[in-house]
Amino acid sequence: MTPRFRISRAILDGETADVYFLRSKEVLQAEGLDPVVTMEFFSSRPGLLCGILEAQQVLAQTLPEDAEVMALSEGEVFEAKEVALRVTAPYSAFGLYETAILGMLAHGSGWATAARECVEAAEGIPVVSFGARHVHPNVAGLMDYAAIVGGCAGCSTVEGARLAGVEPSGTMPHALILILGDTVRAAVAFDKATASDIPRVVLVDTFKDEVEESLRVAKELGEKLQGVRLDTPAERGRVTAPLVEEVRAWLDLGGFSHAKIMVSGGLDVARIRYFVEQKAPIDILGVGSHIAGAKPIDFTADIKAIQGKPVAKRGRLPGITPNSRLQKISLAPRE
Amino acid sequence: MTPRFRISRAILDGETADVYFLRSKEVLQAEGLDPVVTMEFFSSRPGLLCGILEAQQVLAQTLPEDAEVMALSEGEVFEAKEVALRVTAPYSAFGLYETAILGMLAHGSGWATAARECVEAAEGIPVVSFGARHVHPNVAGLMDYAAIVGGCAGCSTVEGARLAGVEPSGTMPHALILILGDTVRAAVAFDKATASDIPRVVLVDTFKDEVEESLRVAKELGEKLQGVRLDTPAERGRVTAPLVEEVRAWLDLGGFSHAKIMVSGGLDVARIRYFVEQKAPIDILGVGSHIAGAKPIDFTADIKAIQGKPVAKRGRLPGITPNSRLQKISLAPRE
Amino acid sequence: MTPRFRISRAILDGETADVYFLRSKEVLQAEGLDPVVTMEFFSSRPGLLCGILEAQQVLAQTLPEDAEVMALSEGEVFEAKEVALRVTAPYSAFGLYETAILGMLAHGSGWATAARECVEAAEGIPVVSFGARHVHPNVAGLMDYAAIVGGCAGCSTVEGARLAGVEPSGTMPHALILILGDTVRAAVAFDKATASDIPRVVLVDTFKDEVEESLRVAKELGEKLQGVRLDTPAERGRVTAPLVEEVRAWLDLGGFSHAKIMVSGGLDVARIRYFVEQKAPIDILGVGSHIAGAKPIDFTADIKAIQGKPVAKRGRLPGITPNSRLQKISLAPRE
Amino acid sequence: MTPRFRISRAILDGETADVYFLRSKEVLQAEGLDPVVTMEFFSSRPGLLCGILEAQQVLAQTLPEDAEVMALSEGEVFEAKEVALRVTAPYSAFGLYETAILGMLAHGSGWATAARECVEAAEGIPVVSFGARHVHPNVAGLMDYAAIVGGCAGCSTVEGARLAGVEPSGTMPHALILILGDTVRAAVAFDKATASDIPRVVLVDTFKDEVEESLRVAKELGEKLQGVRLDTPAERGRVTAPLVEEVRAWLDLGGFSHAKIMVSGGLDVARIRYFVEQKAPIDILGVGSHIAGAKPIDFTADIKAIQGKPVAKRGRLPGITPNSRLQKISLAPRE
Amino acid sequence: MTPRFRISRAILDGETADVYFLRSKEVLQAEGLDPVVTMEFFSSRPGLLCGILEAQQVLAQTLPEDAEVMALSEGEVFEAKEVALRVTAPYSAFGLYETAILGMLAHGSGWATAARECVEAAEGIPVVSFGARHVHPNVAGLMDYAAIVGGCAGCSTVEGARLAGVEPSGTMPHALILILGDTVRAAVAFDKATASDIPRVVLVDTFKDEVEESLRVAKELGEKLQGVRLDTPAERGRVTAPLVEEVRAWLDLGGFSHAKIMVSGGLDVARIRYFVEQKAPIDILGVGSHIAGAKPIDFTADIKAIQGKPVAKRGRLPGITPNSRLQKISLAPRE
Amino acid sequence: MTPRFRISRAILDGETADVYFLRSKEVLQAEGLDPVVTMEFFSSRPGLLCGILEAQQVLAQTLPEDAEVMALSEGEVFEAKEVALRVTAPYSAFGLYETAILGMLAHGSGWATAARECVEAAEGIPVVSFGARHVHPNVAGLMDYAAIVGGCAGCSTVEGARLAGVEPSGTMPHALILILGDTVRAAVAFDKATASDIPRVVLVDTFKDEVEESLRVAKELGEKLQGVRLDTPAERGRVTAPLVEEVRAWLDLGGFSHAKIMVSGGLDVARIRYFVEQKAPIDILGVGSHIAGAKPIDFTADIKAIQGKPVAKRGRLPGITPNSRLQKISLAPRE
């Protein structure tokens, strides 16, 4: 299933483009020039590609039918300098979207690549994207989608989950527990009020010691408890591998081996590796800022041929860069 | 003048929120609970605040009239752990927007703070934001706006310029020169086709040596030439301070002292400092990825009082955090 | 008051000496030689002198009355290479004790110097020596004594306290709380069983969250509670500055401002500096391994004159090293 | 043969214990509580165990016959966190000795582990412990014993040698040579005065060049010379590998190939490795401060079960930690 | 063929010797002493030997016929401390030349060793020595000769080429192009004026972009063009691997695949490795300062036997150092 | 007094020049071109200028009378990029000597600058150049001359001393002592055989301990002894500050306060600083390889004007570089 992105009016009108593309359009019109050009998009860093489907959706709305678009696939790994997208079409049909397409590829691939790093570090423990709070809401869903393209098992926003075709993931916020005044009370209220197919995962670091709170909710919810979430803040020493072990030991000793342990709170690749090396008995990892705040992987667009003749600006090699991994992508309108 | 942000339907409907806030809403409704809570927003890193006006616009649409909102101002510098926003209102009126507001502050302050670093490093040379291509177009305008809040003199997107109340900045892309086949021809066509109040700044690194090209366009455009832009790629050794000096020396020797020099291409704080230390005769700096790709400055939201009674989750101090710099902000609807 | 050290039979018999001193004694006797020599003791590192009183006690038992002993005082700071002790006497009267005296000075000065570093880092917060468990019990009391010579306000062993002329310090071990099964029960039992002049300082990290436990014991003991001790283990993130602040805030909020906070657990100079820099509201610091496990500050003994004539082995300067800070010390037997 | 340690009265009376153990004893007596507890001793660092025989000697004097003590053996290597000693007995029978036992294990294992590092670095060259002067004489013999447990071939103190069941090692001190005024005279006097089974190893760096002095004593003592000791001080560039080679070459050239070379003076693991890598022809290495001044390897004691029921303080796992390497040790009184 | 070095009068008269050798000569004459000594020359660093042929030429002029000279060969690799030259002769016959011979070996081996490093880093791309301008002209030819002994394919000075038995290499200096005012004009003039067997290699970075200039000279000289030289200065970002690729691509696209590319300008081992790793299509490398400015590899001369009897100064082993790689070299006068 | 350098035939014939200068000469002759050019010589590193007098001697032989030569003075400090020499003359009159002049300046300034660093580090202790053995004898005298230009108080070669107008310095080589078999015998023989104005400085590390040897020669030569030289090799730990102190102490104790101490052996700036910081009582420092093996300070020559018209190759600024410190230098033939 292909996700449906919302391409805003502002993008299609060029309001988010560098203004010199709008001016170039005027200049070329005045000169009466509109050659068929071949433009290549690549990055100087390697990564995992995300954003190509959204870019395709833009091009499908603006390119003529006989234009040729070759690309790597969403989720594919690319090398430094490898061409990820090549468009051959009259310049007027897409020149204005250079900024937008570069931005989609840069931001999307930055998030997806960071997600992949976490997933690889986790060595099989599922990773869920919890980073919506670290990016502007205009891109929160896209960030979550990219995290799933990069290998995450789920995400917290409704929009991200919709784009990726999964159910959104979540436990309960500290706010709910603070308002209800007690973790067990919050757990019971949550259990009563929400649909039965939503997993009962209780946050256990709000008021009391994590071990004590875990045992209290486990005794109260019994088999209905799917898991506990440890999110101990830095002020309290963060979640450590021994803490996870300790919670696991007491839950097992109390007969609650079915209850899973989810860990979140400032996780990055180094911290995930630490947990994996320490063999902490974690069932799910929730990652936020490391994915959401990942630096975009910048892309560059170069005209490499005009009316089929090799050209290049200084610093680049003239003519098309061979890449047998590119595949032709469809511009047919989607119904 | 206050900028008008577009707050999307998806944000107001909570589609970009962490799903557990939607579920908490259901739980609290089922429990019949809606206390007045005081929530504080702060970051663990210092920075320059941006996003508070957009957050205010969200809150103005959702809070009751008697709610109290205290905040620092857009563009103000904040300390680590300093409260930048404090909302006192019934929880149901804004709990769902915690994710969105945190994201606006995080992303906006990240960009504005990076811009400020560049502006400070530039020691008086104007800095223009050229980074739209490094972020998703959904936030390109907001990024440019934040750059200007952080001290930039201009930006390249139409949307960013509109939000900041300035004219968009731009010269010409390599694509235009490649299509026209010669820098001088491109300069002449640009001069002919665009409004006379748009500065003529010609990009001089596409085909020939930068010095030779600068002299060719200067001879052709004469007094109409406002400046040349050096954007030499890394493959050709980037723009160096001696190159700028050399272009300046030959332009002066040719009688073109009026032509300014703009430099762009991979500039970051270290590179700007290098130019400043070398006393390179630069008139404008164009910065892209360093601002656009800045890591968000993560914010946290904590409930610190419920119905006026101090509370806190473990790791935080109970009750309101004093901050005499906060000012009450208006929730009146804007006409 | 001068402390009374137990100089064991083994020391006086030379059993703890390097065996070659016993053999040298035989050789010199066989040769019929027993010149008056001047021997100087110094270290190649600077430090705070401790052990000189114990050395004096050894020398007082073995030197003839007309021997001359010059020394710095117990607790005085010495420079690298500065002579700290100079003995002028017939060699046979003290040659055998070179090993013992060097060891007393080295071990004692190592402990005292480390204590001084902690005390200086603490900037006025009293430091108590809790390190007996890190050294052999044969020297545990001497270590505690040296810590107090170095500036500590107290120590945990009975012997150390006796040597230093203070009362031993202590709260309660985890073992007591584990056996009684609850921190409050342990606090009450302690209060009932011990003399009223022993401070009630309750260890609050055994079973429950430190904040919760602090409030429970404060409510139970009220004004009788002198303080709480935080000793959170590394597995739980150690004691952090924010945890201390948090305990302080809740105690104050509960009306228990009189209760002090003691912190222990893996403290070293860097960790003490961290607490001081973070302005954590700590009343007492308990330091163990950093003082007890301090590397001895090695001393060297050199013969510098024989029958008044300057001599030296290769690498050392011949003759007495001037040091106006040395004072003559008494060899009179103590009653 | 098992060594006989002197367990002092002060230890058995608890004078070297943390005072809170004395107070806990009173509290538990007042409460009428004396459960059978299981206490485990372990270190957070790996090492080579020393001190367990002395601890056993303490426990044999205080535990009832039916108590169970499981332990690793003296000289065995242990992992980080591995249980090295487990005592199951009424708490009142041994609770007071927690401090002493921890100290014996910590100090002993620290010395033994450092010795092992030297021995391993020496790759077959015998290492002798010469560090008595760097520790308090109360533990000098124990330090030497631990060094031999760690692999040293000998030690310099009479007490250490007795505990380890070997003869003490030693050459001659600089003091002897200085008093006799000439190295050859000292060598001759030593040869005349000491028993014939004591090796003649002459210190050759006191007055003259090491090569010259070596040849002089070799010519004088001939076959009776067992070896020379090089101890060149730092002021003279320390003993270097080429110096050893040079002494060896001249001794061989003079027909004294039977004379061995011993090296001492500030040797640590790095310096030993240097000599081994340089293939310096050394026959014996004398190590002092690196072993004697080794940081104790801190041990921790935790109650893990009370009357057979798993317990733990926060941060530790409840119940007994499995370790199949532990062996039951005898508490029978030694005759 | 053996090179003929010019041994100056000043050298043979001892004017370049340390004056104390002249004085020692007088002293020994006055004492009537002239023993046969064996002197060994070695370095404390490993390297590639150069200078031995020149030293041989000095010795051939001064030693009696029955003297014995053993040596490694010119161009052979030597180990640290390996004897490279051993002279056995009456001291008066060569003592005065110790300084000169050490200097020849030190300077020559320094240059040759640096050349070898470049040649090895170049992995098959020929390296030419262009460093005459970095050393005094008195040694410029010797430096070039040493570079070829070290593996270089050519050198730029007439004298160096003569000593090494090759033709000197060179393209054209910037001065020529600046005087002629245009690169193409200079290329044509050079082609007209010089012998047809001198390769036409044109320097292409003086006035215009390197790519543009390469194409211009290629079009003008056609098949006669042997290659272009890139020497882009640091001010312009130095020669980069992508620049070489770009020039190669455009030359190939223009049909000039026969034209080679030579690179020079600040090349050292690291820069050569960079080009090799980047697979830059370079045909010849010109190295200057890295070889010419190489630190001399210091040699030491030691007397190890006098009239056949082993001797040594302190720090050295007495007697001849075995080295089976040494070969006897001839002192016969060359015709 | 101006030194007289020997400018060899090979230099004047261009045999030590890069061959392309010889070819350029032909090309320009064929083209009939010989413009007056202005060439500037500068370095990219700062330093102390040496070689300008020798360059002047070359130019005086080849330039026409009306040529203009501006230069900094021998021994003056120059900045990075500062013009040190500017020649305005017909190109044919000096183009061929570009290589030679650059080499003279580079090598000379490299040596002089390194000497200056040593002299500055020595803080008033005289430094003597002992490095002839580290460079080829063709430049040994020039190196010594440059060392004196850089601030050295003397040098060891006859030629260097002649150029610098001083007497050569020297003590005695190890060879002399080895041949005479004893340091005192060598000292006596030296004293007998050499002119009375040559200082008696005896090398005291050949056979015996430095202290012993110093006292032996002092006793023998008495007032005639000017000093002792310590040159202890690395194998024996080098000369250390305490060794110098020790020798000083024993000499003073023996009544030989008049005897100076000279130190040599592997001295560089760091080692000199060490001695100065340790306040070692050194009277003279002998430096070898640090000065002699200093990397040349590379110079560049650029044509900046042709027939008065500003020109430049890419990377350099067109036209003459202002430098008011340059002074016109004479080309008059010296008698």
- Judged by 3 or more CB pairs under 8 A, whether F touches C is yes
Interface of D with C in 25-84 (CB under 8 A): 26-31, 33, 35, 37, 39, 44
D158 with C16: Cβ contact below 8 A: yes
C95 to chain D, any CB pair closer than 8 A? The answer is: yes
In contact, F287 and F121? CB cutoff 8 Å:
no
pLDDT of residue A1: 60
| Helix ranges, chain C (H) | 9-12, 19-31, 52-62, 98-122, 137-149, 158-164, 174-180, 183-193, 210-221, 241-253, 269-277, 289-292
In contact, E160 and E141? CB cutoff 8 Å:
yes
Strand positions, DSSP E, chain A: 36-43, 47-48, 68-71, 77-78, 83-90, 127-129, 154-155, 201-203, 227-230, 260-264, 284-287, 299-306, 309-310, 327-328
DSSP-assigned states of every residue in C127-144? EEE--GGGS-HHHHHHHH
- Write down how long chain A is: 335
E212 to chain B, any CB pair closer than 8 A? The answer is: yes
Return d(Cα F276, Cα F270) in angstroms, integer.
Answer: 10
What is residue E234's three-state secondary structure? helix
Return the H-helix or E-strand segment holding B313. Answer: none
pLDDT of residue C269: 98
DSSP-assigned states of every residue in E144-169? HHHHHHTT-SEESBHHHHHHHTS---
pLDDT at B1 over 80: no
What phi and psi, each to the nearest 5 degrees, are found at residue B172? -150, 145
Return d(Cα B250, Cα C260) in angstroms, integer.
Answer: 75
pLDDT of residue E56: 96
What residues of A are in contact with residue C230 (Cβ under 8 Å)?
none
Return d(Cα E283, Cα E247) in angstroms, integer.
Answer: 13
E207 with B208: Cβ contact below 8 A: no
What is the pLDDT of chain A when averaged over all its residues?
96
What is residue B262's three-state secondary structure? strand
- Judged by 3 or more CB pairs under 8 A, whether C touches B is yes
E140-160: average pLDDT: 98
Q: What is the largest CA-CA distance in chain F?
A: 81
List the structure tokens of A266. Answer: 């400032």
F209 with C316: Cβ contact below 8 A: no
User: Per residue in E159-173, pLDDT tens?
Assistant: 999 999 999 998 899
In contact, B267 and B286? CB cutoff 8 Å:
yes
* DSSP secondary structure letter of residue C63: S
F15 to chain C, any CB pair closer than 8 A? The answer is: no
In contact, F300 and F287? CB cutoff 8 Å:
no
pLDDT of residue E335: 46
E287-307: average pLDDT: 98
What residues of A are in contact with residue E209 (Cβ under 8 Å)?
314
- Among D185, F246, D175, CA closest to C38: D175
D120 to chain E, any CB pair closer than 8 A? The answer is: no
Block mean pLDDT (10 aa), chain F, length 335:
89 95 96 97 98 97 95 98 98 97 98 98 98 98 98 97 95 95 97 94 97 98 97 96 98 98 97 98 98 98 97 97 96 64
Instruction: Calculate how close chain C gets to D75, using CA atoms only, in Å.
Output: 17
Instruction: Calculate how close chain F gets to E199, using CA atoms only, in Å.
Output: 11
CA C183 to chain centre: 31
What is the pLDDT of chain E when averaged over all its residues?
96
List the structure tokens of E297. Answer: 């590899």
pLDDT at D335 over 60: no
User: Per residue in E200-230, pLDDT tens?
Assistant: 999 999 999 999 999 999 999 999 999 999 9
pLDDT at D2 over 90: no
- Among A138, A158, D49, E278, CA closest to B137: A138
In the structure, what pLDDT confidence band is assigned to residue E334 with cuts at 50, 70 and 90?
Answer: low
**Residue bearing tokens 């603006």:** A62
E246 with A314: Cβ contact below 8 A: yes
pLDDT of residue C332: 77
A209 with D314: Cβ contact below 8 A: yes
A238 to chain E, any CB pair closer than 8 A? The answer is: no
**Residue bearing tokens 């050239």:** D253
Return d(Cα B236, Cα E237) in angstroms, integer.
Answer: 6
Instruction: Calculate how close chain A gets to C147, using CA atoms only, in Å.
Output: 30
Q: Which residue of C has its CA nearest to B317?
A: C246
* DSSP secondary structure letter of residue F202: E
In contact, E58 and E39? CB cutoff 8 Å:
no
Helix axes E241-253, E210-221, angle to 10 degrees: 40
E242 with A314: Cβ contact below 8 A: no
Instruction: Calculate how close chain F gets to E26, using CA atoms only, in Å.
Output: 7
pLDDT of residue D1: 60
**Residue bearing tokens 């320490």:** A278
Which residues, including other chains, have CB under 8 Å from residue E237's CB and lie 6 or more apart? B232, B236, B237, B238, B240, B243
List the structure tokens of B116. Answer: 């400020």
* DSSP secondary structure letter of residue E258: T
In contact, C178 and C149? CB cutoff 8 Å:
no
F298 to chain C, any CB pair closer than 8 A? The answer is: no
In contact, C25 and C54? CB cutoff 8 Å:
no
User: Per residue in D260-272, pLDDT tens?
Assistant: 999 999 999 999 9
User: Per residue in B84-131, pLDDT tens?
Assistant: 999 999 999 999 999 999 999 999 999 999 999 999 999 999 999 999
In contact, B271 and B118? CB cutoff 8 Å:
no
What is residue C310's three-state secondary structure? strand
Residue type, F159: E
In the structure, what pLDDT confidence band is assigned to residue D104 with cuts at 50, 70 and 90?
Answer: very high
User: Per residue in F33-79, pLDDT tens?
Assistant: 999 999 999 999 999 999 999 999 999 999 999 999 999 999 999 99
ipTM for this prediction: 0.96
In contact, C315 and F246? CB cutoff 8 Å:
yes
Which residues are paired to E129 by β-bridges? E155, E287
Tens-digit pLDDT profile for chain A (335 aa)?
689 999 999 999 999 999 999 999 999 999 999 999 999 999 999 999 999 999 999 999 999 999 999 999 999 999 999 999 999 999 999 999 999 999 999 999 999 999 999 999 999 999 999 999 999 999 999 999 999 999 999 999 999 999 999 999 988 999 999 999 999 999 999 999 999 999 999 999 999 999 999 999 999 999 999 999 999 999 999 999 999 999 999 999 999 999 999 999 999 999 999 999 999 999 999 999 999 999 999 999 999 999 999 999 999 999 999 999 999 998 876 54
**Residue bearing tokens 């050199």:** C302
A310 with E253: Cβ contact below 8 A: yes
E179-197: average pLDDT: 96
**Residue to test with chain D: of F231, F240, F245, F278, most D Cβ within 10 A:** F240
SS3 for A17-35 is: CEHHHHHHHHHHHHHCCCC
D302 to chain E, any CB pair closer than 8 A? The answer is: no
In the structure, what pLDDT confidence band is assigned to residue B335 with cuts at 50, 70 and 90?
Answer: very low
Enumerate neighbours of A (3 or more CB pairs within 8 A).
Answer: B, C, D, E
Strand positions, DSSP E, B67-150: 68-71, 77-78, 83-90, 127-129
B298 to chain F, any CB pair closer than 8 A? The answer is: no
Q: Which residue of C has its CA nearest to B311?
A: C250
Instruction: Calculate how close chain A gets to E276, using CA atoms only, in Å.
Output: 18
Which residues, including other chains, have CB under 8 Å from residue F324's CB and lie 6 or more apart? none
Tens-digit pLDDT profile for chain C (335 aa)?
689 999 999 999 999 999 999 999 999 999 999 999 999 999 999 999 999 999 999 999 999 999 999 999 999 999 999 999 999 999 999 999 999 999 999 999 999 999 999 999 999 999 999 999 999 999 999 999 999 999 999 999 999 999 999 999 988 999 999 999 999 999 999 999 999 999 999 999 999 999 999 999 999 999 999 999 999 999 999 999 999 999 999 999 999 999 999 999 999 999 999 999 999 999 999 999 999 999 999 999 999 999 999 999 999 999 999 999 999 998 876 54
Interface of B with F in 170-199 (CB under 8 A): none
pLDDT of residue A288: 96
Out of C242, C250, C253, closest to residue B315 by CB: C242
In contact, B55 and B85? CB cutoff 8 Å:
yes
- The more confident residue out of C334 and B206 is B206
List the structure tokens of A143. Answer: 């960030």
List the structure tokens of F86. Answer: 């500017």
- Judged by 3 or more CB pairs under 8 A, whether B touches D is no
What phi and psi, each to the nearest 5 degrees, are found at residue A319? 90, 170
